[in-house]
Structure 1
Amino acid sequence: MNGQYLKGILAIAILIVGLGLAGCEKYALDRQMEELCKNDGGVKVYETVTLSPEMFDRWGDPFPGWRERKPEDRLGPDYLYVMEIVDIKHGDAFKGEGELRRFSTRIYRRFDSKLMGEAISYGRSGGDFIVIDHPTSKRCPIYKTDDEWVIKSVFLKRGE
């Protein structure tokens, strides 16, 4: 065998190994995210509040129009709505780097600062070998939005 032939085989082997390892970050972050979700994710309700039917819109949302208001005003003067995003692993997903984040939405009663409920989820973006147009992403637990679930879990309509 000549040297060129061996160099070609070595190059192909390195390429195959590289392709095999590419995306490993994505799968490692997905496993980490799923473990975090299992231990910490989901909606937790510590206290519910029963509101009159007039406090709900036609779609069953308490505090009609809350989606259009600033976060600090979403739930009126008696409750505080707090959203937080924490980077667990920072990266540029459009460059193939993986990123992992923790999303938290909490509701507090203002007069005593009691935590009424919280929704915690995790999301992964990137970690892809090749990014075409947009990086892949994954989130858990899977539900519409954290804010909607926690708000509808803490605030219940009287008579239901």
Structure 2
Amino acid sequence: MKRIVFLMIVLSVIYAALFSEKARLDREVDRLCAIDGGIRVYKTVTLPPDMFNDRGEVIFYQSDQKIEESLGPKYIFKWDVHYYKKGDPAANGPQETVMKRTHIKIIRKADIKLLGEFVLYSRGGGDLPGPWVPSSYQCPSVIEANSTILIKKIFIKSIEEQQE
């Protein structure tokens, strides 16, 4: 009986330690996201209708290219990741944690003008050890903001197409 009580106390302490770290990192993600998270567009670029596919996406975006060259020769797609806490929960187990800031910028090469940027904060892991997939948390959500939405907000169809 004493062993069971001791084991329950030890497991409770381990569980609290793991989940308090997870909750602390989630609060930090929210705090930093409130400061500069999300999409900001500084300048839009109006393009002719033939520069868009039938889903309204710019046809010169090539996700299979080197990241900086994925928007072709006229624009730079810059992707930076800063780790606040390094870790690899997917490889080392869900108990490990990682927290990072992903910053994407789209820059016009001709005048080095920043057209827009996207900042995402995320946490992974911090769960009980086991064979399951680590949990994750991010701000803003993928539905609210992502690199595809940033591209669609910067590159817009010319007025002629919108009036037809």
TM range (shorter): 0.7 to 0.9
**Which is higher, the Rg of structure 1 or of structure 2?**
1
Selected match of 1:71 from 58, 67, 70 = 67
Q: Counterpart amino acid of 1:143?
A: V
Residue by residue, what CA displacement relative to the aligned partner does 1:1-43 show, whole Å, maximum 9, x if unpaired? xxxx666644433333333333211111111011111111100
Aligned to 1:117: 116
Q: CA deviation at 1:130?
A: 2.1
Q: Counterpart amino acid of 1:35?
A: R
Q: Does 1:149 align with 2:149?
A: yes
Q: Which runs of 5+ in 2 are unaligned?
A: none
- CA separation in 1, counterparts of 2:66 and 2:5? 61
TM-score (norm 1): 0.85
Q: Does 1:20 align with 2:20?
A: no
- CA separation in 2, counterparts of 1:33 and 1:64? 33
**8 Å CA contact 2:61, 2:71 repeated in 1:** no
Aligned to 1:32: 28
Residue by residue, what CA displacement relative to the aligned partner does 1:121-153 show, whole Å, maximum 9, x if unpaired? 011111112232321111211125732111111
Identity %: 34
**8 Å CA contact 2:51, 2:58 repeated in 1:** yes
- CA separation in 2, counterparts of 1:36 and 1:148? 22
**8 Å CA contact 2:100, 2:122 repeated in 1:** yes
Q: Does 1:58 align with 2:57?
A: no
Q: Does 1:129 align with 2:128?
A: yes
Q: Counterpart amino acid of 2:12?
A: I
- CA separation in 1, counterparts of 2:132 and 2:3? 34
Worse-superposed segment, 64-73 or 30-39: 64-73
TM-score (norm 2): 0.83
- CA separation in 2, counterparts of 1:140 and 1:8? 40
Residue by residue, what CA displacement relative to the aligned partner does 1:70-103 show, whole Å, maximum 9, x if unpaired? 3233222221111111111112323312110111
Worse-superposed segment, 31-40 or 140-149: 140-149
Worse-superposed segment, 70-79 or 20-29: 70-79
**8 Å CA contact 1:121, 1:139 repeated in 2:** yes
Equivalent pairs counted in the alignment come to 156
Listed as ranges, the matches of 1:99-114 within 5 Å are 99-114=98-113
Q: Which runs of 5+ in 1 are unaligned?
A: none
Q: CA deviation at 1:118?
A: 0.4
- CA RMSD in angstroms, aligned pairs only: 2.1
- CA separation in 1, counterparts of 2:140 and 2:134? 20
